[in-house]
Amino acid sequence: MPRYRLTLEYDGSGYNGFQAQTDQPTVQGAVERAITAFCGETVRIAAAGRTDTGVHATGQVIGVDLEKAWPARTVMNALNAHMVEEAVSVLDCVEAEPDWHARFSATGRRYLYRILNRPGRPALDRGRVWHVRKPMDADAMQAAAQALVGLHDFTTFRDIACQSKSPLKTLDVARVSRVGDEVHLVFEARSFLHRQVRSMTGTLAEVGQGRWAVEDVAKALEAKDRAACGPVAPSDGLYLTGVSYEGLTQ
């Protein structure tokens, strides 16, 4: 039974998250329906990350086992043909090793958060950025973000519905920069807690707007208390941009 590794891009605006749900539009549901339409098989795909409602991806990775050995290019083209009405696209497809797993083999995940920081609301990027009108100090946000890098107890930035066994995570990268009218936040880690990125982003945005001091982020982290977190950023601006595997970076 061949196993395939596929890289997906999707606009999460119209989906109730990645994970399949009864009577709700999801990315997983769209892909699995396309697989059935292509080859007649009913399968369950595995994903590197289960993105929330409204979250986008430019580098989501999934794995699927098929009964028949199809050329990888055929699988990619067929799925795209059956998803022309969906905001989901297969960017790449290769045959993977039998012991490879989209989630458990991953060694790192990378997220980008886009904040549109200008007075005028978005027209072309509506639903794809968080619009903040008040001027933001990206340098102050960058300075504050460094307190989050490393191994920490991220309870403060952990959603109350998080099912992870431990709040301990190692954040490898927290980078904030201004790109024209946008402020970009990039986070990299092996894995993240539920809504950790949106929680950290919302807190750093408080620094950017001058409501928090740079050192307040470190204090919030040290509090290990969800109540110490700033407002959680909306899902609109969040993108899963890449997943790393041993010897491979998507």
CATH number for the domain spanning 95: value is: 3.30.70.580
Taking the C-alpha atoms of residue 181 and residue 204, their distance in angstroms, rounded to an integer, is 17
Average pLDDT for residues 148-172, to the nearest whole number?
96
Do 75 and 113 belong together in one domain? no
> How is 26-69 classified by DSSP, letter by letter?
-HHHHHHHHHHHHHS-----EES--PPTT-EEEEEEEEEE-SS-
What is the domain range of residue 16? 3-104
Q: Which amino acid is at 139?
A: D
Q: At what angle do helices 214-223 and 138-145 cross, to 10 degrees?
A: 30
Q: What percent of the chain has pLDDT over 70?
A: 99
Q: Each residue of 195-231: pLDDT tens digit?
A: 999 999 999 999 999 999 999 999 999 999 999 999 9
Do 67 and 23 belong together in one domain? yes
> Which residues, 6 or more positions from 116, have their beta carbon under 8 angstroms from its beta carbon?
122, 125, 129, 130, 131, 132, 181, 182, 237
Question: How confident is residue 249, by pLDDT bands cut at 50, 70 and 90?
Answer: low
Tell whether 12 is covered by a domain. Answer: yes
Q: What does the pLDDT read at residue 1?
A: 87
| Domain finish residue from 76, 104, 132 | 104
Number of structural domains the chain divides into? 2
Out of 11, 52, 125, 137, which one is annotated catalytic? Answer: 52
> Are 156 and 202 within 8 A, CB to CB?
no
Q: Each residue of 46-100: pLDDT tens digit?
A: 999 999 999 999 999 999 999 999 999 999 999 999 999 999 999 999 999 999 9
| CATH code where residue 112 lies | 3.30.70.660
Do 67 and 122 belong together in one domain? no
Give the length of the chain: 250
CA distances from 1 to 66, 77, 79, 210 (A): 6, 20, 19, 56
Q: What does the pLDDT read at residue 247?
A: 72
Tell whether 147 is covered by a domain. Answer: yes
| Domain finish residue from 58, 87, 104 | 104
Taking the C-alpha atoms of residue 59 and residue 186, their distance in angstroms, rounded to an integer, is 14
Residues annotated within the binding site are 111
Does residue 248 have a pLDDT over 90? no
Identify the DSSP state of 23. Answer: T
Q: What does the pLDDT read at residue 22?
A: 87
Do 10 and 55 belong together in one domain? yes
Tell whether 250 is covered by a domain. Answer: no
| Domain finish residue from 79, 104, 129 | 104
> How is 139-150 classified by DSSP, letter by letter?
HHHHHHHGGG-E
Average pLDDT for residues 181-196, to the nearest whole number?
97
Q: Is 52 a catalytic residue?
A: yes
Residues annotated within the binding site for substrate are 111
Pairing of strands 3-10, 106-117: unpaired
Q: What does the pLDDT read at residue 250?
A: 54
Cα of first residue to Cα of last residue in the chain, in angstroms, is 24
| Average confidence score pLDDT of the chain | 96
Average pLDDT for residues 3-28, to the nearest whole number?
96
